[in-house]
Structure 1
Amino acid sequence: MRKLSGIFLVGLCLGATGAVVITAGHSSAAAPRQTAVSEVVATTSETPTPTAAPKTEAPASSATPTAKTAPGPAGVEAGTLDGIMRDGTASAVVFDTESGKTTVSVRPDRGYTSASIVKLLIALSVLDQGGPVADVQRMLSRSDDDLASRFWSSYGGPAIVTRWATKLGLTGTRPPADPGRWGDTRITAADIVKVYRYLLDRKSTAITNALRDATERGSDGFRQYFGIPDAAKGQDWLVKQGWSCCRPTRMLHTSGVVGHVIVVVLTEHPAKVDYVTGSKRVTEIVSKLLG
């Protein structure tokens, strides 16, 4: 396992965040029993493809906000993402914690089904109420669905989402239509950047340490090093990933911190695009964002 290579660098005075310099860990993961949430994958290959009927999720809204684009260091804009995706839709936001500025903003307010990204809000709720730190960290680093379901039931369910949306000013985040399906929470890239800014500003080390130690495979066997981990090899990073399929589309999300920048990429693919192909596309987008 790669160990923490640095510490929180600087507390920002811009009312935003501090930055962290961290790396990830590696471990094997056993497939969990099925849960009534949104992530499901095969466990038999390095780049898995589902072998059983996947769990479903609520489809994305048909009303997609107009793309807002702030060219980044590599000139990343909507056309760049669309060229990589070819079909489906991607949103990306990059926030520089040193300058306090957003350097890339493509479709920041477009809504997506969260998959496991909502575990960040679940973790905040559990820790805020004095819940078990070790289990929270396991839920995050291994993306453990069973623990997430247990916490969701015990610490407020949909109220977890509404509470933190209000507290952090998350304008595009809302609870799932089915209150039992935490993975169907609605999120936006702009809102997830706000969550990371809060974590860094508050120096929430219980959470950031878990994200630093994200295992290569989740508890369901899925290889969760697509996106930020694969694109930022050799750099310090922390991540929370999300994947789900298919009612009617496939979601693949990567979010986290690379050095002093927060990176969030949310993607929605037609179900015909498999996890392997979708993962490569997400990694290519992050590579463009990191320049």
Structure 2
Amino acid sequence: MRTIPALASTLAASLSAAAAATGPAVAQTLTVPDSITAGIMVYDRHTRSADLQLNAHQQFRSASVVKLLIALDYLEANGVDVPPEDLAQLQPMLRSSDDDAASYLWVKDGWETIVRRMVAKIGLTDTAPPVNRGIWGYTAISAADVVKIYDYILTRAEPGVRDFIMGNLRQSTRCGNDGFDQSFGIPGAVNRPWAAKQGWSGFGANPAPDKVCSPANPVPPTPGSAAHSSAQVGSGEQLTAKATAGDGLDLTRRATHTTGTVGPHDDKIMVVLTLEPVDTSWEASAGRITALTSVVYRLSEYL
């Protein structure tokens, strides 16, 4: 298996060779600036192997990617016959990355014990609960572990659980319920069919007024327990609780993550996790991870 740094210098040649064999292709170069940290893995579900990877076991704060574990833990404990009050939380959490819904389910189902249960069940090696139990967005993850989560959902979870989660991720909305445009990364770089769960952290609780993404069909959550509205529970974007880093987990730089599957049969699992300087704008970050995801996807297609 080759890593992205070894492949980067030959990307243009690889694409040109593919173009000669299969038709036109646009030669691109994979550029990860020194100021950017990236954790990447593309996993082929047919060959059961990674097409490519970079820093696959490096830990990142999860931001909203942990919502995959929140949903999976809930469904495996309660089944897919979800009562309306919880369905109204799960759907916007998965489709529109609703933070209040995640906080409601986080408190309801045991806080950090959600992560501990999933680590043990799936066999995750780089994932750990947040040091501050209320800040679910500071759960530690890696690209390799996120691939394991998707692979578990697709191959080991009960069919109803798999269909519920993946069905909602295939209906990922352009706008997050906090007003950020979440169509970066996989949704912006790869043609459908795809399923995606995005994550971002460090950009504030809401975008600037002139940058708000207004959904044509918003997915409103049903208000949950008052316990989840405490300033001690949430993603980490707007809390009074003191954030405490785990061993080596960067809570300062801006994080933008795109994760999901591509292909008519969820043929490949793609994970691109990034950390960028604190002065990076949302537009720059979204554009950069979309361009990076596009190159990663195209490169994986030619390997």
Tell me, yes or no, whether TM beats 0.5.
yes
Instruction: Determine the structure 2 residue equivalent to 1:257.
Output: 261
Matched, 1:221 2:207: no
The letter of the residue matching 2:144 is A
1:165 maps onto 2:119 in alignment: yes
Q: Distance in 2 between matches of 1:269 and 1:123?
A: 28
Supply the distance in 1 between the matched residues of 2:294 and 2:51 (Cα, whole angstroms).
Answer: 15
Residue 272 to residue 135, structure 1, CA distance change in 2 (3 Å): same
Amino acid at match of 2:198: Q
Contact persistence 1:133–1:206 (CA under 8 A)? no
For the 8 Å contact 2:8–2:30, the answer to whether it is kept is: no
Q: Which amino acid aligns with 1:170?
A: L
Aligned counterpart, 1:116: 64
Asked if the contact 1:69/1:106 (under 8 Å) is kept, the reply is: no
- Contact residue 126 and residue 136 of structure 1 kept, 8 A: no
Detail structure 1 runs of 4+ shifted over 4 Å in the superposition: 79-82
Q: Could you tell me which amino acid in structure 1 is paired with residue 107 of structure 2?
A: S
Matched, 1:207 2:179: no
Rounded to whole Å, the distance in 1 between the matches of 2:154 and 2:281 is 34
Q: Which residue of 2 aligns with 1:235?
A: 192
1:210-229, Cα deviation, whole Å (9 max, x unpaired): 10000000000110010001
How far 1:134 moved relative to its partner? 4.6
Give the alignment's Cα RMSD to 1 decimal: 2.3
| Distance change (3 Å), C-alpha of 1:81 and 1:207 | farther
Tell me the residue number matched to 2:234.
none
Aligned residues: 221
Show the counterpart of 1:30: none
Q: Find the counterpart in structure 2 of residue 126 from structure 1.
A: 74
Higher helix share: 2
CA, structure 1 residues 188+112, in 2 after alignment: closer, same or farther (shift >3 Å)? Answer: same
| Partner in structure 1 of residue 222 of structure 2 | none
Unpaired segments of 5 or more residues in structure 2? Answer: 12-27, 204-250, 299-303
Cα separation, partners in 2 of 1:81 and 1:91, compared to 1, 3 Å: farther
Identity score, percent = 39
Distance 1:223 1:120 in 2: 19
Aligned residue number for residue 266 of structure 1: 273
Q: Which amino acid aligns with 1:161?
A: V
- Give me the TM-score of the superposition, normalised by structure 1: 0.71
Structure 2: how far apart are the matches of 1:172 and 1:127?
23
Residues 63 and 201 in structure 2, CA contact (< 8 A), matched pair in contact too: yes
CA shift for structure 1 position 105: 1.1
The aligned counterpart of 2:3 is 70
Listed as ranges, the matches of 1:5-20 within 5 Å are none
| Counterpart code for 1:228 | I
Taking a change above 3 Å as real, the CA distance of residues 275 and 230 of structure 1, as seen in their structure-2 partners, is same
Contact residue 64 and residue 200 of structure 2 kept, 8 A: yes
Deviation at 1:82?
A: 7.6
Q: 1:281 aligns with which of 275, 285, 288?
A: 288
User: How much does 1:71 deviate?
Assistant: 5.1
Give the distance between the partners of 2:291 and 2:278, measured in 1 at CA: 19
Alpha carbons 2:32, 2:38 under 8 Å: kept = no
User: Is residue 212–residue 238 contact of structure 1 (8 Å, CA) maintained in 2?
Assistant: yes
Tell me the equivalent position of 1:186. 140
Match for residue 135 of structure 1? Answer: 89
**What amino acid maps onto 1:186 in structure 2?**
A
